[in-house]
Amino acid sequence: MCDVSRRGFLTGGIAFLSLATEVELLAGPNPEGMAEAGKADLVAPDIYFHEGQVSDTADAVCNNGWIIFEDYVLVIDANFPAGAKLVISKIRSLTDKPIRFAFDTHHHGDHAYGNQVFVESGAVPVAHTGVIEEMKRYETGYYDDKPGRWEAEAKGRADVRSSKLKPPSVLFPKDLIFDDGKHRVELMYLGVAHTHGDAVAWLPKERILFTGDVCVNGPYNYVGDGDVGQWVTTLDVARKLGARTVCTGHGPRSDGTVLDDQQAFFKALRNRSVS
């Protein structure tokens, strides 16, 4: 059962690829090894990484980041509603500055369903335009009358049941820059990858890249909504940025080699012959 049918893989017939052995070889472990799940990890002055836990019961499932600017805080990924509350409380223990923006790296629930919680805290959800296109495709309960992904997720998560979908309302087609002279964060669409609407956050001064699920560190790759062929190309664009630190969408943060490993993993899967 180790064989992955290329057709099944490309069409997303399988959900999470749990090829643990290969992933461990090709996409981990974390060479820096400094972060600890559930703890705010200071990556550079004013720049934090928070590792979530991939579990049905965890509050914070995806990884988060936040940058404390002169006048406001920008959060990377909204997480689930419970994760949003957890992250907001951690930010509040560090600074009184207002949380103004929550950047959804993509439309998935563990990265974007906490938007409403951020809105209630005074922040605006921000995303690449592709996130809205993906939400229109999958969030049929919001855009239409047919239950969609939010409603499916709400069956298993009380925090989702008690919140509501809030699509991002500040949208960028290619990039959006936050720069107060001290810190600079470039939100960038690099191409189709894990979904058709992924964007990353690039901090050129510190050479830190927050990838969302364009890159994960561990057996967390979900391929159902993306395009693996284009994903390999998009990872090339990400690699060319020359990141020193890569804060992935799931799993520990790492250095630039995790992008190489993620790409090698998909190349190996694509090259695997179908029997």
Chain contacts with Zn ion (rule: CB under 5 A): 108, 213
Least separation in angstroms between CB 162 and Zn ion: 22
Nearest residue to Zn ion, scored by beta-carbon proximity? 108
Please report, for residues 32, 74, 142, 148, the alpha-carbon distance to residue 257 in angstroms, rounded to integers and kept in the order given.
Answer: 11, 26, 39, 37
Residue placing its CB nearer to Zn ion in the complex, 51 or 213 = 213
Residue placing its CB nearer to Zn ion in the complex, 74 or 215 = 215
> What DSSP string describes 195-250?
SSS--EEEETTTTEEEEETTS-SSS--B-TTS-HHHHHHHHHHHHHT--SEEEESS
Closest of 76, 142, 149 to residue 109, by C-alpha? 149
Residue placing its CB nearer to Zn ion in the complex, 15 or 158 = 15
Q: How many residues does the chain have?
A: 275
Q: How far apart are CA 35 and CA 200, in angstroms?
A: 20
Residue placing its CB nearer to Zn ion in the complex, 41 or 213 = 213
Spell out the alpha helix ranges (H) of 29-154: 81-92, 109-112, 115-120, 129-138, 140-143, 149-154
Residue placing its CB nearer to Zn ion in the complex, 15 or 20 = 15
Least separation in angstroms between CB 123 and Zn ion: 21
Least separation in angstroms between CB 71 and Zn ion: 30
Least separation in angstroms between CB 1 and Zn ion: 24
Q: Nearest-5° angle of CA 214, CA 220, CA 226? A: 45
Least separation in angstroms between CB 127 and Zn ion: 13
Least separation in angstroms between CB 30 and Zn ion: 19
Least separation in angstroms between CB 111 and Zn ion: 6
Beta bridge partners of 202: 186, 209
What SS3 state is found at 159?
helix
Pairing mode, strands 64-68 and 208-212: unpaired
Residue placing its CB nearer to Zn ion in the complex, 68 or 235 = 235
> Angle, to 10 degrees, between the axis of helix 257-271 and the axis of helix 228-240?
160
Left (φ > 0), alpha (ψ -120 to 50) or beta: where does 42 sit?
beta
The one-letter code for the residue type at 224 is G
Residue placing its CB nearer to Zn ion in the complex, 113 or 178 = 113
